[in-house]
Amino acid sequence: MLRPATEAELSEIVGEAAATGGRLAIRGGGSKIEIGAPEENVRALEMRGFDGVVDYDPPELVLTVRAGTRLAEVQALVAGQNQMLAFEPFDHGPIFGRPAGDATIGGVVAANVSGSQRISSGALRDHLLGVRAVSGRGELFVSGAKVVKNVTGYDLPKLLAGSWGRLAALTEVTLKVLPAPRMAVTCVLRGLAPEAAVQAMAAAMGSQAEVAAAAHRPMPEPMTLFRLQGFNASVTARMQALERRLAPFGQLQRAAEAEALWEELRSLAPLPVDVPLWRVSVPPAAGGGLGRTLQALGAEWLLDWAGGLAWISMADGAAVRQAAAAAGGHAMLLRGPAALRAVVPAFHPQASALAALEGRVRKAFDPAGVFETGRF
Amino acid sequence: MSLEMPEPDAGVLARREEIILALRAIVPGEGVIDDPSALLVYESDGLTAYRQPPMVAVLPETTAQVAAILRWCHLNGVKLVPRGSGTSLSGGALPLADGVLLGLGKFKRVLDIDPANRVAVLQPGVTNLAVTQAIEHLGFYYAPDPSSQIACSIGGNVAENSGGVHCLKYGLTTNNVLGVEFVTIEGEIMRIGGRGLDAAGLDLLGVIVGSEGLLGVVTEVTVRILPKPEAARALLLGFATVEGAGRCVAEVIAAGIIPAGMEMMDRLAIHAAEAFVHAGYPLDVEALLIVELDGPEAECSELIGEVEAIATGNGAVYARISQSEQERLNFWAGRKAAFPAVGRLAPDFYCMDGTIPRRRLPDVLTRMKMLSAQYGLGVANVFHAGDGNLHPLILYDVNKPGDLDKAEEFGADILRFCVEMGGVLTGEHGVGVEKRELMPVMFTEADIAQQWHVKCAFDSKSLLNPGKMFPLLHRCAELGRVHVHGGQMAFPELPRF
């Protein structure tokens, strides 16, 4: 196990691997280690040595933190200043049956982890302002900056968000933070069929109610959730507006135990653990039809992002990928036995011209393939 | 005017007739422009100090034509400069003497409005304002609103990652685009992203937005659309000191309020704007803030009171709350006319676009005063205060020997100081030709090299918009500017910044 403590050490390690044909698997907290194909002939590059807050001035809405810092620490830090990471990142540990707490901010950035609020506030990639990283050449580079508005040069942070460790090893990230809402309430509609649930969520998102998050679980009893948050008088007014807007779909009720409902969505607790799990991203309006189609083939499922994100439990991966593509989206294999992950690629296959361009971009960061571990 | 561009290729210039014929075979009729006087239309963009007619201009109407043009240019080693409406303030669409100007002006259709997915699909030549106009009957709008929105195109917004006064709350273009149809220099047509919230694989869309026309040509854009807020109200706040205004901005945000817009003007800008549009601004203050809140009526009412209390606590000597939509727009009228208003104070002025951490504002303004005295040139400041994006307007007279050089040095010193304070060279205008040579102030050689490697992954022969964004290999002392002489600038009728 390699465990650099400085950027200079990291550069040296990566540079040497590039020169000698080595393969390095970048590790944060290991919370997502069971995603992708099992790796062979790689050395783990442990990033937890890059730990701690570099700069945080709450009124500037900018937080700079070393990549190995634990997500939970970052969230506690900003919560202490009544702020939040508005993309609502979460720890993948519980999805894999482990306690939360190991995920690092670098891993969260590398996987572009964005929770239920993504539909209203944007994804992690929308809040990543700057990075320091060591490329597959072993070169330290900086891109972006520590201010909220910047168009100087290419936006390489966006490429690194969701690159799953295939372009560079992040050492430091700068994130936009936002004020935490003063209050949040969750309302629920019960008993909706999949298509109706998606229509209700579209109506809500298209209204002036400023819905922060909208999700649907079809089982055991269909529940469609809407989260409203912000200033007190505003939330009350918007809740009334939403109730009127959604009256054609049923009686909107305030949910008790709201946080537990959202937590179940984050950890995907309602879905079986012994069936392959797929993360399917589609145009939101297509989410209900996708759920119904795959349910008829035996799938269990949940919808987030007002229908734009479907979590599908289903053994027949070909059917999932076919349905995702037909709906204009893509399917990622998130959880499954190692033998399955060894033969089914985690990412949805792309059109050949796009795949070729993506391959050239990967080589632009990592010409020797130091970070190409066979995982993806 | 001594801006250095890549040396024109004599071999390409000698093949001009052959190139025109090849383009005519792809785009029939009047879509290929080779008449020298007609080409003058394209010789400049919003950065009017630099002028260079293209070798030839081509105005395709279909994606297939765009692909064929790019493929032919790639095979034949001919450079291209893409252009939308030509409102770039950093010279992003400045043509090349040996290059083809690829105008996307004929891509003017709104292709689809999809309220269920809250997206609109547009051709790149649709103007920014036309996007909102196409969807407002459904209660939606498109959030990014660069001040030139009546003219600038959505394709140009994608290329430059355009901002506007509302981007602290609603984001820049990059946060509001979900997909593009994209043509590579090899002529491959690909779809990146779509109506869903993310795409498989690397976030190529993220690097295409803001790439200033150096990576490929966008022929279709899918944008996020938002429900129009129920209400919007504004406060006009005057302060005896810039520091007081700066503290007010920080405390508003610390209180958990993200205004839809938060703009600051300094004394010179206030006086210029008031004399120009008579917006009713107080004249006995050092700094003026416009704070706009939007959302449900209940929220606006609650927060207006909070913001007013914060302002009073920070020594506001003037506070007025808009009582009507007309009054709110009036508050903005002075701010939006600040550019032409300042233009009346001196024969010429020159606009900069740095971003700084807001806490550094007093330092930067103090330094600017010092530099102003040192160079003997006045400077007015308008400032997107919420996000720290500063637009100093340097006053000079191009007919006064040495004034232009002084203005340029002054501007470069300001940008260098912005970077020294932890800020950046450009918050929303782009690097273009204007700030190309300042890139090493902000980035190391390795940083720039990594960006260049990405450029090469898309465009290995460097045919797309060369001479922009990256420093030329040999250092060029000349730094480009938004020069305005005698109030004459491209699109003088457009509101700016």
Is residue B356 in some structural domain?
A: yes
Instruction: Tell if the CB–CB gap between A178 and B211 is shorter than 8 Å.
Output: no
Is residue A62 in some structural domain?
A: yes
Going from the C-alpha of A305 to that of each of A118, A121, A180, B230, B296, the distances in angstroms are 7, 11, 20, 23, 23
Q: Which domain holds residue A115?
A: 7-179
Is residue A242 in some structural domain?
A: yes
Please check whether residues B57 and B176 belong to one and the same domain. yes
Instruction: Tell if the CB–CB gap between B454 and A135 is shorter than 8 Å.
Output: no
Instruction: Tell if the CB–CB gap between B196 and A156 is shorter than 8 Å.
Output: no
Please check whether residues A215 and A96 belong to one and the same domain. no
CATH of the domain at A84: 3.30.465.10
- Tell me the mean pLDDT in the region A302-323: 98
Please check whether residues B413 and B322 belong to one and the same domain. no
Looking at B228, B248, B280, the residue that finishes a domain is: B228
DSSP structure class, residue B60: -
As a whole number, the mean pLDDT across chain B is: 92
Please check whether residues B129 and B7 belong to one and the same domain. yes
Name the maximum alpha-carbon separation found in chain B.
71
CATH of the domain at A242: 3.30.70.2190
Please check whether residues A26 and A154 belong to one and the same domain. yes
List of residues 6+ apart from A71 with CB closer than 8 A: A29, A89, A91, A103, A104, A105, A107, A108
Instruction: Tell if the CB–CB gap between B195 and A328 is shorter than 8 Å.
Output: yes
Please check whether residues A26 and A41 belong to one and the same domain. yes
Is residue A72 in some structural domain?
A: yes
* pLDDT tens by residue, A55-78: 999 999 999 999 999 999 999 999
Instruction: Tell if the CB–CB gap between A208 and B229 is shorter than 8 Å.
Output: yes
Provide the pLDDT confidence category of residue B479 given band limits of 50, 70 and 90: very low
Measured distance CA(B118)–CA(B291) in Å, rounded: 28
pLDDT reported for residue A189:
98
Q: Quick check: B141 pLDDT over 90?
A: yes
pLDDT reported for residue B475:
33
| Residue B226 Rama label (left phi>0; alpha psi -120 to 50; beta) | beta
Chain B residue closest in CA terms to A164: B202
Measured distance CA(A80)–CA(A88) in Å, rounded: 16
Instruction: Tell if the CB–CB gap between A147 and B356 is shorter than 8 Å.
Output: yes
Please check whether residues A22 and A133 belong to one and the same domain. yes
Please check whether residues B67 and B104 belong to one and the same domain. yes
Residues of B within 8 A of A126 (CB-CB) are 171, 174-175
- Considering only the beta carbons, identify the residue of A57, A59, A364 that sits closest to B454: A364
* pLDDT tens by residue, B224-235: 999 999 999 999
Looking at B335, B361, B386, the residue that finishes a domain is: B335
Please check whether residues A190 and A110 belong to one and the same domain. no
Residues of A within 8 A of B204 (CB-CB) are 159, 354, 357-358, 361
Lowest mean pLDDT among A17-31, A156-170, B334-348: B334-348
* pLDDT tens by residue, A81-105: 999 999 999 999 999 999 999 999 9
For residue A125, report the phi and psi dihedrals to the nearest 5 degrees.
-55, -25
Q: Quick check: B496 pLDDT over 90?
A: no
- Considering only the beta carbons, identify the residue of B195, B197, B388 that sits closest to A123: B197
Please check whether residues B305 and B372 belong to one and the same domain. no
Residues of B within 8 A of A354 (CB-CB) are 190-192, 201, 204
Looking at B228, B263, B291, the residue that finishes a domain is: B228
Chain A residue closest in CA terms to B229: A208
Is residue B444 in some structural domain?
A: no
Percentage, residues of chain B above pLDDT 90: 84
Q: Which residues pair with A45 in a beta bridge?
A: A2, A26
Looking at A179, A203, A227, the residue that finishes a domain is: A179
Q: Quick check: B340 pLDDT over 90?
A: no
Rounded to the nearest angstrom, the minimum Cα separation between B17 and chain A is 32
Is residue A350 in some structural domain?
A: no
Q: Quick check: A366 pLDDT over 70?
A: yes
Residue pairs spanning A and B at CB distance below 8 A: 271
- Considering only the beta carbons, identify the residue of A159, A208, A285 that sits closest to B296: A208
Please check whether residues A100 and A127 belong to one and the same domain. yes
Please check whether residues B60 and B144 belong to one and the same domain. yes
Chain A residue closest in CA terms to B170: A121
Please check whether residues A136 and A212 belong to one and the same domain. no
CATH of the domain at B259: 3.30.70.2190
Which pTM was predicted?
Answer: 0.95
Q: Quick check: B478 pLDDT over 50?
A: no
CA A156 to chain centroid, in Å, comes to 18
- Considering only the beta carbons, identify the residue of A208, A237, A285 that sits closest to B117: A285
For residue B114, report the phi and psi dihedrals to the nearest 5 degrees.
-130, 80
Instruction: Tell if the CB–CB gap between A126 and B230 is shorter than 8 Å.
Output: no
* pLDDT tens by residue, A136-155: 999 999 999 999 999 999 99
Chain B residue closest in CA terms to A237: B298
Q: Quick check: A1 pLDDT over 90?
A: no
Instruction: Tell if the CB–CB gap between A284 and B201 is shorter than 8 Å.
Output: no
Q: Which domain holds residue B346?
A: 341-435+479-484
Provide the pLDDT confidence category of residue B165 given band limits of 50, 70 and 90: confident
Please choose, from the candidates A84, A74, A32, A33, the residue with its C-alpha nearest in 3D space to the C-alpha of residue A51: A74
Please check whether residues B105 and B196 belong to one and the same domain. yes
Please check whether residues B389 and B267 belong to one and the same domain. no
Instruction: Tell if the CB–CB gap between A149 and B384 is shorter than 8 Å.
Output: yes
Is residue A248 in some structural domain?
A: yes
Q: How many structural domains are present in chain B?
A: 3
Residues of B within 8 A of A141 (CB-CB) are 444, 446-447, 449-450
Residues of A within 8 A of B422 (CB-CB) are 145-147
CA torsion, ordered A173, B246, B299, A245, to nearest 10 deg: -40
Instruction: Tell if the CB–CB gap between B207 and A159 is shorter than 8 Å.
Output: yes
Please check whether residues B345 and B315 belong to one and the same domain. no
Q: Quick check: B485 pLDDT over 80?
A: no
Please check whether residues A18 and A165 belong to one and the same domain. yes
Please check whether residues B169 and B286 belong to one and the same domain. no
* pLDDT tens by residue, B62-107: 999 999 999 999 999 999 999 999 999 889 999 999 999 999 999 9
pLDDT reported for residue B473:
61
Looking at A216, A242, A267, the residue that finishes a domain is: A267
**Planar angle of CA B21, B25, B27, nearest 5 degrees:** 110
CATH of the domain at B370: 3.30.70.2740
Is residue B448 in some structural domain?
A: no
pLDDT reported for residue B404:
85
Is residue B457 in some structural domain?
A: no
The answer to whether the beta carbons of residues B264 and B289 sit under 8 Å apart is yes
Please check whether residues A168 and A22 belong to one and the same domain. yes
Residues of A within 8 A of B361 (CB-CB) are none
Rounded to the nearest angstrom, the minimum Cα separation between B268 and chain A is 25
Please check whether residues B244 and B182 belong to one and the same domain. no
Please check whether residues B179 and B241 belong to one and the same domain. no
